[in-house]
Amino acid sequence: MSSCSTQPNFTAVFQQEMLKASMGDLEKWPEIEKVATEKRRELVLQGADVDKRISPEGGLPSSIYSLSLLNYLEVSQCPSLTEIPEDIQRLINLQSLIVCRNKLTIIPSAIGRLKSLKVLDLSVNNLTVLPDSIVQLGELTTLNVSCNKLEVLPDDLSQCSKLSTINISKNNNTFYCERFELLSTLIASDNCIQELNGDIYKLPALKVLDLSNNKLSDIPSGLSNCPKLKEINFKGNKLKDKRLEKMVSGCQTKSILDYLRGKGRQGEDGGDHDGGRKADKKKRLQQRRKNEKTADEADEVEELNKMVVRVLHVSEDATELTVKVTAEVKEVRPYLVCCVVRGMNLKSGNALKRFLMAQTKLHDDMCGKRTTATIATHDLQLLKGPLTYDAKPPTQLKIVPLGRKEMTAVELMRHLHLEADELRRQKKRQNVTGLHKYLQLLQEKPLYPCLVDAEGHVISFPPVTNSEKTKIKKTTKELFLEVTSATSLQTCKDVMDALIGKMSELNKFTAEHQEEGGSDGEGGVQAEPAAVGEATSELTVLQVRTFDQDGNLKVVYPSKTDLCSEKSNVTVVW
């Protein structure tokens, strides 16, 4: 017998060991096993339960990189995750990679081989540098690297010719300006930017530009030549032009662009060196500046008057709407702020639709797809106070979800899971929409948070849905706003500030355009045109007090420190 026949087959042994390791992964990571077995295209891993399974040495299990069908991968809120291995390149069909709110310090250069990648979210990590290979992502449309420690972005990022959204806020970036033909949104707030390249007007698709809280001393007049620019924010910069700085504090895009356009024309006129005409030219320029100043100041006053939010002190009358927070909610979703808003015009044209779309955008962006905070809006006239913010077992929580019949939270979650599975089969992809996106946020929770009225009706089940009983319509005149969070009370306040600011902007838009009635998406019902007396954008915000179960005051919103001008596009009058 040959001696070699007694030697171990090292290849076979290695394969067996790898198989054992893979089986161990699947036992420890049932989510991965489910995706592999059912050939799904989406995998979401997030939160403390996932974090405690991440190996300090090896990070995520290697089996995750065998899921070659994946087109959506999210790993978030895992402080133990500090790096991504080169094996990420094996996910060749990946279109969205969301690895936010971790502790990543390194992104491998192999990421440049994900040729199908369209969305890359690396926000809220500890990154100091990005690999140059990112410029090889030719299909990339969205890049979010906010809340890191980046000083520069890779050279030649403009090779990602399909980029339409870039968020580099809250870094140490000193900026650059490259030619992006399709770039529509550039958010670069809270950085160290000292100068804005005059060639920024060469961004033909730019609609939103946020450079607030930087170190700019000037804004180039060429910015006014961006043909599609609709929203700019330069707050928090110490500009040499104090008049411009004052205008910037009000965030009035049109007024700022008109002013910059005027400065640009003046610069051109100043280039005339003919001595015989220079004196006359100077006089005309001085008069024109004086006329423009008067007109601009009048425009500013008019704009600010349209943006006023009048905040009233809460009455000491015992019948005022209050909210009691129980002890049970402390371990589930403890933070809550509420207020009442009057004067919101939802009746005209598409006003209601725009308001709901704005709320959805806040949920997706500022609220981190409801992982950070959740907004709920109700028709105040349909509420019975006082309210109670409570937590109940899923079998005991009953609600009439939007567009559905009454059911328990258990039944609702089961229905949503079944609907999500059916959607995946019908569309032959893993991604789902609507309420189905938020099912994982309550996984393995013994209690579910809920807001209950005085008659025991659940009117809100965050972060999933509101009740049909208090649904807002075109006829709604007073809104009860609610923001909940598991993160912090300040998060709730920041989101509420942003929501009220957006409502003010929408009300201003509605008042200016005076649309006639249109479909609100509810059976095609036509609304009456707004009456002349309703053509106002002024909002009134009433305080709502929140108490603990012993009657001690927990929070009043808005307080004197809320809705301040630094946080909002509105002027607050107490």
- What single-letter amino acid sits at 201? Y
7 located within any domain = no
Does residue 21 belong to any structural domain of this protein?
no
Average pLDDT for residues 507-515, to the nearest whole number?
76
Phi, psi of 135 (to 5 degrees): -65, -10
How would residue 26 be classed by pLDDT, with cut points 50, 70 and 90? low
Examine the domain organization and report whether 369 and 237 are in the same domain: no
Q: Is residue 12 part of a domain?
A: no
- Residue 464 token pair: 């999933």
Q: Is 16 a domain residue?
A: no
Burial 195-227 (b: 16+ CB within 10 A, else e): ebeeebbbbeebbbbbbbbbebeebbbbbbbbe
Residue-wise pLDDT for 241-256, tens only, equals 988 888 888 767 888 8
**How confident is the model over 187-195, as a mean pLDDT?**
91
Q: Same structural domain for residues 263 and 385?
A: no
CB atoms within 10 A of CB 374: 26
Per-residue pLDDT band for 66 (boundaries 50, 70, 90) equals very high
| pLDDT higher than 50, residue 328 | yes
* Residue 284 domain-assigned (yes or no): no
Band (pLDDT 50/70/90 cuts) for residue 180 is confident
**For position 215, which CATH number holds?**
3.80.10.10
Nearest to 539 by CA among 315, 355, 319: 355
Domain assignment present for 301: no
- The pLDDT of residue 428: 55
Query: What pLDDT is attached to residue 480?
Result: 95
Residues 6+ apart with CB under 8 A from 14: none
What does the block give as tokens for 361?
Answer: 């955008």
Query: Are residues 533 and 405 located together in one domain of the fold?
Result: yes
Q: What is the mean pLDDT of residues 266-275?
A: 50
| Terminal C-alpha separation, the chain | 98
Comparing 180-184, 227-231, 533-537, which segment has the lowest mean pLDDT? 533-537
Residue 564 in contact with residue 573, Cβ under 8 Å? no
Give, as one character, the DSSP assignment of residue 566: T
Structure confidence at residue 16 as a pLDDT band (50, 70, 90): very low
Q: What is the pLDDT of residue 413?
A: 84
Which of the four pLDDT bands, split at 50, 70 and 90, describes residue 415?
Answer: confident
Domain boundary among 269, 294, 325: 269
**Which of 242, 269, 296 is the C-terminal boundary of a domain?**
269
Mean per-residue pLDDT, 487-499 = 89
- Whether pLDDT at 318 is above 50: no
Domain assignment of residue 18, yes or no: no
**pLDDT greater than 70 at residue 567:** no
- 260 lies in the same domain as 333: no
Structural tokens at position 199: 């060639």
Whole-model pTM over 0.75 = no
Question: Is 9 a member of any domain?
Answer: no
Question: Does position 5 have pLDDT exceeding 50, yes or no?
Answer: no
- Residue percentage of the chain with pLDDT more than 90: 36
Do 182 and 320 fall within a single domain? Answer: no
| pLDDT tier, 337 (very low <50, low <70, confident <90, very high otherwise) | very high
Q: Mean per-residue pLDDT for 312-329?
A: 71
**Mean pLDDT rounded to a whole number for the chain:** 79
What is the mean predicted confidence (pLDDT) over 177-195?
86
CATH no. for residue 505? Answer: 3.50.40.10
In contact, 525 and 295? CB cutoff 8 Å: no
269 has a pLDDT exceeding 60? no
Residues 503 and 381 in one domain: yes
Q: Which amino acid is at 335?
A: Y
Q: Which of 269, 295, 320 delimits the end of a domain?
A: 269
Q: What is the mean pLDDT of residues 277-291?
A: 53
Look up residue 59 and give its DSSP letter. B
Least confident stretch, 57-71, 373-387, 463-477, 501-515? 501-515
Residues 394 and 542 placed together within one structural domain of the fold: yes
130-161 as b/e, with b when 16 or more CB fall inside 10 Å? beebbbbbeebbbbbbbbbebeebbeebeebe
The CA distances from residue 490 to 156, 363, 448, 560, in Å, are 39, 16, 22, 14
For residues 457 and 561, state if they share a domain. yes
Q: Is the pLDDT score of 45 beyond 60?
A: yes
Count of structural domains within the chain:
2
Q: What does the pLDDT look like over 85-124, one tens digit per residue?
A: 999 999 999 999 999 999 999 999 999 999 999 999 999 9
Same structural domain, 212 and 313: no
SS3 419: helix
Confidence at residue 272, expressed as pLDDT on a 0 to 100 scale: 44
Q: Is the pLDDT of residue 494 over 60?
A: yes
Band of residue 486 on the pLDDT scale cut at 50, 70, 90: confident
More confident residue, 27 or 11: 27
Residue 39: is its pLDDT beyond 90? no
**How far, in Å, CA of 95 to CA of 142, rounded?**
11
Confidence of residue 21 (pLDDT cuts 50, 70, 90): very low
Q: Cα separation of 135 and 161, whole Å?
A: 9
Least confident among 123-132, 460-469, 537-546: 537-546
Contacts of 529 (CB under 8 A, 6+ apart): 348, 514, 515, 516, 517
256 and 334 assigned to the same domain: no
- Give the torsion sign (CA, 286, 288, 291, 292): negative
- Name the band, by pLDDT with cuts 50, 70 and 90, for residue 64: very high
Q: Which of the listed ranges 184-198, 428-442, 535-549 does the model predict with the highest average pLDDT?
A: 184-198
Q: Tell me, yes or no, whether 219 and 312 share the same domain.
A: no
Judgement on whether residues 263 and 316 belong to the same structural domain of the protein: no
User: Which pLDDT value is given to residue 346?
Assistant: 93
Domain span holding position 236:
27-269
User: 311 phi and psi, to 5 degrees?
Assistant: -100, 125
- The predicted pLDDT at position 499 comes to 93
Average pLDDT over residues 215-235: 89
